[in-house]
Chain A
Amino acid sequence: MFFLDLDPLVKPDLGLIIWMTVTFFIVMFVLGKYAWKPILKAVHTRENKIEDAITQAAKVQAEMAQLKNDNEALLTKAREERAVMLKEAKDIKDKIINEAKDQAKVEANKIITDAQAAINHQKMAALTEIKNQVGNLVIEVSEKFYAES
């Protein structure tokens, strides 16, 4: 026989072959059912969870960035609006002031004109009265003169 001439070191023992076969199948069965399956499942679940978490985080980050952008845009818009409103307010203010100034000027002119008219009028009246008085005085003086003479 071929095997019988082999060195005992490389001659497989029937007993050990059988024990090994039995043992390995027990190991395969027990570990396959109660160890590898739950371990691989748990690891797989965890990997999925981590992957999900990473995707979720990226999504949240993108959302945050979007929100920030939106906020900035809103802020810019608000700033612009404020500037426009301030400008409008200033314009209105200026307009009101100018209008008031104009009106005041017109009023003042009118008052001055009126005053001048009144002054002229008074002056004319006073002159007329002086003229009349002078006339009367002349008459009185003349009468008195003639009467004495």
Chain B
Amino acid sequence: MAFKGIKSLLVAALAGFLLLNSGVAKAQHEGEIKADTTATHGEKEFDITETIMDHVKDSYGWHLWGHTSVHLPVMLYTDKGLEVFSSKNLRDEHHQPVVYNGKNSYKLNHETGKIEILNADGTSNTTAKLFDFSITKNVATLLLSMLLVCIIFLSIAKAYQKRGVNSAPKGLQSFLEPIILFVRDDIAKPNIGPKYTKYMPFLLSIFFFIWLNNMLGLIPFFPGGANLSGNIAFTMVLALIVFVVVNVSANKNYWKHIFWMPGVAWPMKLFLAPIELMGVFIKPISLMIRLFANITAGHILVLALICLIFVFKAVAAAAVAVPFAVFIYCIELLVAFLQAFIFTMLTALYIGMAIEEHHHEEAHH
């Protein structure tokens, strides 16, 4: 029975994937329709796009409940030097952006949600130098997840030291050991080959870091609530690190296959070189976009379903919206794992391709 359940869950997950992939477009479409009605019916109308984007995007505060939120510190670097102040100063009690006067005048841009420097006449100064290093909601989540991942795995490492190698794993250790072994035996070994041990710490780190952040993103309130792994900066940095790791470990054979493909006629070699070279960059970019799009789409989909209640202005809509949202949520739990797995798996694959030795000369002839 349990097996049957898992099987149908997998089928549901696959179906969910297709749904999710179209999720962004759908949500955006819904948003547009709503925006139109907002324009015609006036300010009071519920704006689904704004609500969803508010949840998906980064912010300077961390909303707890009702009107309570944690005011995170804002850190700016301008031509007048470093500026640190609480994000409390950026909004008034009605949650409207207000001007904060520090070394410059700062105000939140309503559209982008970012801080801008104001000119003396109150218009925004887009040319002024402004680097924003604020501890935003995403950065706070990032630091929290760093702490969590360190605490979890250091405690497990301790458990191995304490309990020795002769006893069976226990507790958290027994839950995570199969996953560590899964990363090693099913991701690293088959894709990288005999030299996999060197890359294990890297693969394990990205796998668990992505997974933990995907899961944190699914918690709708305080310790979670941020859409960190669905943030393009997060996935970009990971993809960049993968890009560097892959290309630094690449051997001569790999570059030869890119610039002068062996075993094909020379016009073909010339034709393939730019394509292969583009592939070098497209691979990490695809990693970046896949993780970002899947996680963000999932968030948007769940939020859009919940927003249906407000769009129809009827509690009865919850009868449809909530079960659907729960369904998508369950799929999201799976996707959280799956996306971490796919990211790690493709990373291992790219590393494997980069360090593969030249042993199939005959295959090209």
A residues apposed to B, CB below 8 Å = 8-21, 23-24, 26-28, 30-32, 34-40, 42-43, 45-46, 49
Contacts and interface: CB of A to CB of B under 8 A. Distances in A.
B236 A12 contact: yes
B132 interface: yes
B131 A39 contact: no
Given A13-B233, A16-B58, A31-B149, A36 B142 contact: no
**Closest 6 A/B residue pairs (Cβ):** A12-B233, A35-B153, A32-B201, A42-B160, A16-B233, A36-B201
Contacts of A19: 133, 139, 142-143
B234 A20 contact: yes
Dominant secondary structure of chain B at its interface with chain A: helix
A27 B150 contact: yes
Interface residues of B, number: 50
16 contacts: A8-B113, A13-B233, A14-B132, A15-B136, A23-B142, A24-B205, A24-B237, A27-B146, A30-B150, A31-B149, A31-B201, A31-B204, A32-B205, A36-B201, A42-B165, A43-B184
B149 to A, nearest CB: 6
Nearest to B293: A10
Q: Which of B131, B150, B237 has the most CB of A within 10 A?
A: B237
Contact of B150 (A13, A20, A31, A40): A31
Given A14-B131, A23-B146, A27-B205, A49 B166 contact: yes
Contact of A11 (B165, B166, B232): B232
B347 interface: no
Contacts of A24: 205, 209, 237-238, 241
B19 to A, nearest CB: 20
Contacts of A45: 165
A26 to B, nearest CB: 6
B132 A13 contact: yes
Q: Is the interface of A mostly helix, strand, loop or mixed?
A: helix
Contacts, number: 121
B136 A28 contact: no
A146 B296 CA distance: 180
Given A19-B142, A39-B156, A8 B114 contact: yes
Contacts of B138: 16
* Residue of A9, A11, A18, A21 with highest tally of chain B CB at under 10 A: A9
Given A15-B134, A16-B136, A36-B200, A9 B57 contact: yes
A16 B181 CA distance: 32
Nearest to A49: B165
A20 B133 CA distance: 11
Given A23-B143, A23-B146, A18 B57 contact: no
A20 B237 contact: yes
B53 to A, nearest CB: 7
B231 to A, nearest CB: 7
A13 to B, nearest CB: 5
Given A21-B237, A46-B165, A36 B205 contact: yes
B56 interface: yes
Contacts of B75: 15
A17 B236 contact: yes
Interface string B121-154: 0000000000111101011001100100110011
Contacts of B233: 12-13, 16-17, 20
A35 B132 contact: no
Given A15-B133, A38-B157, 6 more contacts: A12-B231, A16-B58, A16-B234, A31-B153, A40-B184, A45-B165
B209 A27 contact: yes
B51 to A, nearest CB: 14
A26 B154 CA distance: 13
Contacts of B160: 38-39, 42-43
Interface string B51-64: 00100111000000
Nearest to B234: A20
Contact of B232 (A9, A23, A31): A9
A15 B231 CA distance: 12
B269 to A, nearest CB: 32
Contacts of B292: 10
A28 B149 contact: no
A43 B114 CA distance: 47
Contacts of B205: 24, 27-28, 31-32, 36
A43 B188 CA distance: 15
Given A15-B134, A15-B136, A27-B205, A34 B154 contact: yes
